[in-house]
Amino acid sequence: MKKVIMGNHAVSYGVRASEVKVISAYPITPQTHVVELLSEMCANGEIDAKFIKVESEHSAMAACVGASAAGSRAFTATSAQGLLLMHEMLHWAVGARLPIVLANINRAVGPPWSIWTDQNDSLSQRDVGWLQIYCESNQETQDTVPQAFKIAEELQMPVMLVMDAFFLSHTYEIVDMIEKEQVREFLPPYKPDIKIDTADQHSFGNLAGPDHYMELRYMIQKAMDRGLDVIKRVDSEFEEMFGRGYGLIEPYRCDDAETILVTSGTVASTTRVVIDELRDEGVRVGSLKIRVFRPFPIEDVFEVLSKAKKVAVIDRNISFGAHGIFYQEIKSALYGRTDIPIIGYIAGLGGRDITPKVIREIADKAIGDEQPERYINWIGVKI
Amino acid sequence: MVKKIEFESYKEMPIRPMTLGSMMWNLTGSWRNVRPLYDFKTSPCILGCPTNENIQRYIYLVTEGRYEEAWKTIIESNPMPAVTGRVCFHPCMTKCTRKDYDEAVDINAIERSLGDMGLENGGWMEKSKAVKKEKVAVAGSGPAGLSCAFYLARQGYPVTLFERDKALGGVLRWGIPEYRLSNELLDRVIKQILDSGPVEVKAGVSVGTDVSMDQLEKKYDAVFLGLGLMSSRGLGMDGEDEDGIEPGLDFLRKVNSGERVDPGAKVVVVGGGNTAMDVARCALRAGSEVTVAYRRTRNEMPAIAEEIEEAEKEGVAFHFLAAPKELVRRGGKLVRVIFQKMELGEPDDSGRRRPVPVEGETIEMEVDRLFTAIGEQADLEGIESTVETDWDLIKTSDETGATSNPKIFAGGDVVTGAASVVEAIAAGRKAAERIGRMFAGEPEPEVEEPKTVGIEDMNTDYFTRSKRNLVPRISASEAKTGFSEIKTGYTREQLASEAERCFSCGVCNFCDNCWVYCPDVAIARHEDEYEFLYDYCKGCLICVFECPCNAISIREEGK
Amino acid sequence: MIASEILADAFFHEGKFVQAFPAFGVERRGAPVMAFTRISDGKIRERCQIYEPDHLIVLDRVLLSTVNVTDGLKEGGWIVINTNMDIDDEELSGKFRVAIIDATKIALSHRLGSLASPIVNTSIIGAFAGATGLVGLDAVKEAINGFAPIKKEANMQAAEDAFNEVKIISGK
């Protein structure tokens, strides 16, 4: 059944369909709708889950860690400062190998306070070991929730679902709703081999000396490596059942493109409008959406981009003192294997709109002969 | 025994940071230098109750919906909760820890609800049989006598209950107006008590006159005197035996026996105790305009505050710092009373400030009838020779009611002077227990000072402020027109909600906090208790601090 | 915001692709707010705000004099205004197609909201449908039925009244 629903609620309905057992969260704009609806669903019995109210996001993640360790499917949602407060517990979820799913609604980090979107909150959690999937539509958001649980549980790794504030979170779009009865077939109940169980006693999260620590880290990286295949397989299983698939990346009109714009989130969607416009003008241009950021799909990205003559990366984020973070990832993926120029653009920080006009400006600059700055090209900065 | 984690190859290494086997071998309890232990105290309410009802316990049982057990818990120390739930001055509530937080739990209302349930569910009362040979005579069927008879019968001793009136109940019947305690309800309470065990009733027989103490002492192995106070104390004024003046108790007796009374248009009641309030409110209901005159101020009034408030709401006027001085008659008929104006002086033995006359200042009041309610006295005719007395009261050596005569015990108002129903019940029960020990040849137990708690010992983080559930009652305007019961009692929802307000001071109420918070899973939860697993408890004491009730104490190891 | 959602939903019921969203920011009840609806025959890919709308709905006439409501509005587009008096603005009427409706009166006649804060969402959408003919009354009512938490019937009737009573001042 199709309905017009808000992006935040698309997450909630995805969680409902995934038959989550424990939800623990702390409210924060622009995420609040997600857990607000979930708490209602818990209260009226639509979801058979325990909703744990907590006093902070750190505790929310701690509660998910406990629940997941005890064998429950656990979910939380947050944004910006909330995600940053979780940071320590994000590490814990990875180290303890717990398949928690977190929805992060990308919100710019303060100060200055901002409630609008950019990706610095999630990208500054790049190295903690969470899988990260960036969504561009309400439909994709809803569908990604059960996918995320399936991936997480198979890899025994936590997964972060990421989406833009307002451009998705507060936007109503048509969503083909998934229901738990169908999803159950795709995502069976979580039954881990190992969990906290008083009948089978083990000590968890204990000390590991130099003899063991590195091996445990190695296994996390192995899980990430395996993750690329698992994500692909889970996605195609989902597509088989529901008719919708999203892939690791999504190239658009890239086959004969001389210039490719690399994007993520809602910008990927708007960019396609511009690509069509340019194509109509006879410009050979394409775009590549990066959906899965961790593990980073190096080979898939190389495969698409290596055929182009020029790559432009649009970053709604910045690693201060370096460059846009997607830009760094792309450069690293192509390093030593091709010498095509890669140009980075920073745009849309703190919720500044990335309209077709803005994307066109970036495309024109990238395609044109204008000599780009070596590291950072700021778009629309008024100073 | 220390087991090292070993695996054959790193391929077996679990992905999780975890031990391969149980860590139960690691007896971390040896790290402990202090130990927590379940150490239940006596809730302050229980200490406040003269008969030491296990209030915490029965309220906990109410929260669990275990009403029969709750009622039986009261019956252990009070055979008539339906009565005390209506008329008790509830000193338990004055001690309630919750009053230092928001408002005391309405223990009295909870007791009444349970008491009523006990009357509706006749099967709850266990029956006792005469299995012992010693016989006891109980004189007086007021709260003391009924209580003593009940607890003796429960121990298996056959009891003969003497009452000088035709109907049983004593002060409960003739001293308490219908709007507080109806005779119909009292009949049911008494029947339940009498039916529960080997009690034979001899009504209309006055001990000391109709049957002598000698006869009783010969026929019975012990005698309990719960005679109460039978007559009003006089004012000690000229002309007080003439027309227009009546002892308040006599008036109450008439009203309570259903006699039609007409006290006249203007009534003055002299006194400040519960009898004065009862007389005033009954006169009001008979259509009189009523003024209570009291020689001290409202603060010193011995009546239950609630009774004073209700009387005031119904329209009883109060005149404080006034003592009757002179009665003025015209044609033999009382028309006016002249009162001496008083002021408060130094405190007397009771700790209350003594009223002293303000020289030359008087007040006059028109009056058709003046009721005296300044105290009652015992009637010890035929008795005073067998036991030692103190003024007109029987002297006892301790609270178990032992008198100078080893076979004779006493309790209630006849020992204490005008006191309360619950104190009489307590005296009756304690005497019954004492008599039982005497027959069994058991020594008197040593009483330890009970440990209790206060608000500062509770973890109030676990409580939220809430208002007391108000007992539904009929309006004052409706109340004063008749004798219908004023308080109509809690609904089941109110009962549950009020019971939830109990802090369970010093006693575990199975909230699971200790069990949940223990970071070492060193607490086991059993059917009806928790247990510390000292092999693993590291003595972090989180349980102690997270216990809302202060039911866990700390002891240093090695001491 | 609710009006933009109902409008989107109505078009959705007629098989269109839709999107609805508020002007992103901090909302406060009673303060002027903007919300947008995108409607398309095909899949909507633009995920950004709208700067040049085709049509405009004004929920309170007062906004005409306090905010530049027609900023970016495409010439020839519809403006549907909630007002209890005639709009006599030649510039407006010259550039745009203007329709008016006393949605407040209709809402209150169906006991929707209070005089101080009438709920005009459903009436104004009915008026938009009536004036522009871009979306049918049935679809509007179906959308209202799905959205309104209470007083579904009253809201649907209000939309129908507005649909019938809307007055076209210029254009068409």
Q: Token pair for residue B101? A: 């937080």
Q: Is domain A2-242 in CATH 3.40.50.970, yes or no?
A: yes
Q: Which of B541, B447, B501, B543 is nearest to B35 (CA)?
A: B541
Tell me if B255 sits within 8 A of B177, measured CB to CB: yes
Q: What is the pLDDT of residue C29?
A: 66
The answer to whether residue C131 sits within a structural domain is: yes
**Span A35-51, average pLDDT:** 97
Q: What is the pLDDT of residue A198?
A: 81
With an 8 Å Cβ cutoff, are C48 and A354 in contact? yes
Query: Å from C27 to nearest chain A CA?
Result: 12
The answer to whether residue C12 sits within a structural domain is: no
Q: What is the pLDDT of residue C82?
A: 95
Confidence of residue B2 (pLDDT cuts 50, 70, 90): very low
C43 vs A: CB within 8 A: no
- From the number of C-beta atoms within 10 Å of its C-beta (0-12, 13-18, 19+), residue A110 rates as exposed
Domain B136-230+378-440, CATH among 3.40.1260.10, 3.40.190.290, 3.10.129.10, 3.50.50.60 = 3.50.50.60
Question: Across all residues in chain B, what is the average pLDDT?
Answer: 92
Residues in CB range of B129: below 8 A, 6 or more apart: B156, B197, B198
**Touching chains B and C? (3+ Cβ pairs < 8 A):** no
**Span B359-374, average pLDDT:** 91
**Which amino acid, residue B92?**
C
pLDDT tens-digit map of A286-312:
999 999 999 999 999 999 999 999 999
Query: Å from A149 to nearest chain B CA?
Result: 18
Which CATH number do you get for residue C138?
A: 3.40.920.10
Residue B1 has pLDDT above 60, yes or no: no
Phi, psi of B353 (to 5 degrees): -70, 135
Domain at A249-378: CATH architecture: 3-Layer(aba) Sandwich (3.40)
3-state secondary structure of A219: helix
Handedness of CA B61, B66, B68, B69 (dihedral sign): negative
Domain ranges of chain B: 27-77+87-126+454-559, 136-230+378-440, 235-375
DSSP A362: H
**Span B109-134, average pLDDT:** 96
Residue A148 has pLDDT above 80, yes or no: yes
With an 8 Å Cβ cutoff, are A174 and C17 in contact? yes
Of B376-380, B425-429, B458-462, C37-41, least confident by mean pLDDT is B376-380
Q: What is the C-alpha separation between C127 and C137, in angstroms, rounded? A: 9
Q: Chain A contacts of B524, Cβ < 8 Å?
A: none
* Partner residue opposite B16 with nearest CB, options A194, A198, A215: A194
Query: Å from A29 to nearest chain C CA?
Result: 10
DSSP B433: H
Q: How many CA atoms lie within 13 A of B254 on its CB side?
A: 14
Confidence of residue B480 (pLDDT cuts 50, 70, 90): confident
Confidence of residue B347 (pLDDT cuts 50, 70, 90): confident
**Span B398-404, average pLDDT:** 92
pLDDT tens-digit map of A99-135:
999 999 999 999 999 999 999 999 999 999 999 999 9
Q: Chain A contacts of B21, Cβ < 8 Å?
A: 201-202
A168 vs C: CB within 8 A: yes
Q: Chain A contacts of B16, Cβ < 8 Å?
A: 96-97, 156, 194, 204
* Partner residue opposite A174 with nearest CB, options C4, C12, C46: C12
Phi, psi of A34 (to 5 degrees): -60, -55
Query: Å from A352 to nearest chain C CA?
Result: 10
Q: Which of A197, C10, A179, A207 is nearest to B19 (CA)?
A: A207
**Span B125-141, average pLDDT:** 95
Confidence of residue B6 (pLDDT cuts 50, 70, 90): low
DSSP B383: T
Which of C45, C46, C49 is the best mutation test for A, with the most CBs of A within 10 A?
C45
* Partner residue opposite B24 with nearest CB, options A201, A216, A223: A201
**Span B182-190, average pLDDT:** 96
Residue C172 has pLDDT above 60, yes or no: no
Q: What is the C-alpha separation between B323 and B346, in angstroms, rounded? A: 17
Output Rg (C-alpha) for chain A, integer angstroms.
Answer: 21
Closest CA in chain C for residue A166: C24
Q: How many CA atoms lie within 13 A of B169 on its CB side?
A: 25
Strands B353-366 and B333-347: antiparallel
Residue B391 has pLDDT above 90, yes or no: no
Q: Chain C contacts of A266, Cβ < 8 Å?
A: 47-48
Residue C23 has pLDDT above 90, yes or no: no
Instruction: Count the helices and strands in chain C (H runs, E runs).
Output: 7, 6
Q: Which chains touch A (3 or more CB pairs under 8 A)?
A: B, C
Cα-Cα end-to-end distance for chain A: 49
**Span B305-316, average pLDDT:** 91
3-state secondary structure of A183: helix
pLDDT tens-digit map of B495-535:
999 999 999 999 999 999 999 999 988 999 998 899 999 99
C11 vs A: CB within 8 A: no
**Span A236-240, average pLDDT:** 98
Residue C30 vs residue C107, higher pLDDT: C107
A140 vs C: CB within 8 A: no
The residue behind tokens 């979107």 is A117
A205 vs B: CB within 8 A: yes
Strands B389-390 and B289-294: unpaired
Share of residues in chain A with pLDDT > 90 (%): 93
Residue B67 has pLDDT above 50, yes or no: yes
A216 vs B: CB within 8 A: yes
DSSP string, B341-372: EEEEEEE-TTSSEEEEEEEEEEEEEE-SEEEE
DSSP string, A45-77: TSS--EEEE-SSHHHHHHHHHHHHHTT--EEEE
Of B340-354, C124-138, C145-159, least confident by mean pLDDT is B340-354
pLDDT tens-digit map of A159-206:
999 999 999 999 999 999 999 999 999 999 999 988 998 888 888 988
Residue A343 has pLDDT above 70, yes or no: yes
Q: Length of chain A, please?
A: 383
Tell me if A141 sits within 8 A of A269, measured CB to CB: no
Which residue range(s) make up the domain with C149? 52-168
A134 vs C: CB within 8 A: no
Question: Across all residues in chain A, what is the average pLDDT?
Answer: 96
Helix (H) or strand (E) holding B305: helix B305-314
Q: What is the C-alpha separation between B450 and B447, in angstroms, rounded? A: 9
**Span B338-342, average pLDDT:** 93
A277 vs C: CB within 8 A: no
For chains A and C, CB pairs below 8 A equal: 65
Share of residues in chain C with pLDDT > 90 (%): 72
CATH topology of B136-230+378-440 equal to that of B235-375?
Answer: yes
Confidence of residue B5 (pLDDT cuts 50, 70, 90): low
Residues in CB range of B471: below 8 A, 6 or more apart: B106, B109, B487, B488, B489, B490, B494
Question: Across all residues in chain C, what is the average pLDDT?
Answer: 91
With an 8 Å Cβ cutoff, are A266 and C44 in contact? no
**Residues C1-23, buried b or exposed e (16+ Cβ, 10 A)?**
bebbbbbbbbbbbbebbbbbbbe
B235-375: CATH superfamily = FAD/NAD(P)-binding domain (3.50.50.60)
Residue B316 has pLDDT above 90, yes or no: yes
Q: What is the C-alpha separation between B464 and C106, in angstroms, rounded? A: 47
Q: Chain B contacts of A219, Cβ < 8 Å?
A: 13, 15
Cis status of the peptide bond prior to A30, with omega within 30 of 0: yes
**Which amino acid, residue A252?**
Y
Residue B332 has pLDDT above 50, yes or no: yes
Provide the H-helix boundaries in chain C.
Answer: 2-13, 63-66, 90-95, 103-109, 121-132, 137-147, 152-165
Tell me if B414 sits within 8 A of B378, measured CB to CB: yes
Q: What is the C-alpha separation between A244 and A241, in angstroms, rounded? A: 8
3-state secondary structure of B334: strand
With an 8 Å Cβ cutoff, are B17 and A202 in contact? no
Torsion on CA atoms C67, C88, C162, A174, rounded to nearest 10: -40
Residues in CB range of C37: below 8 A, 6 or more apart: C4, C7, C8, C11, C18, C19, C20
Q: What is the C-alpha separation between A52 and A20, in angstroms, rounded? A: 13
At residue B70's C-alpha, the angle toward residues B65 and B71, to 5°, is 125
With an 8 Å Cβ cutoff, are C48 and A116 in contact? no
pLDDT tens-digit map of C74-126:
999 999 999 999 888 888 888 999 999 999 999 999 999 888 888 999 999 99
Q: Which chains touch C (3 or more CB pairs under 8 A)?
A: A
Tell me if B54 sits within 8 A of B46, measured CB to CB: yes
* Partner residue opposite C12 with nearest CB, options A4, A136, A171: A4
This model of the complex carries an ipTM of: 0.93
Residue A251 vs residue C32, higher pLDDT: A251
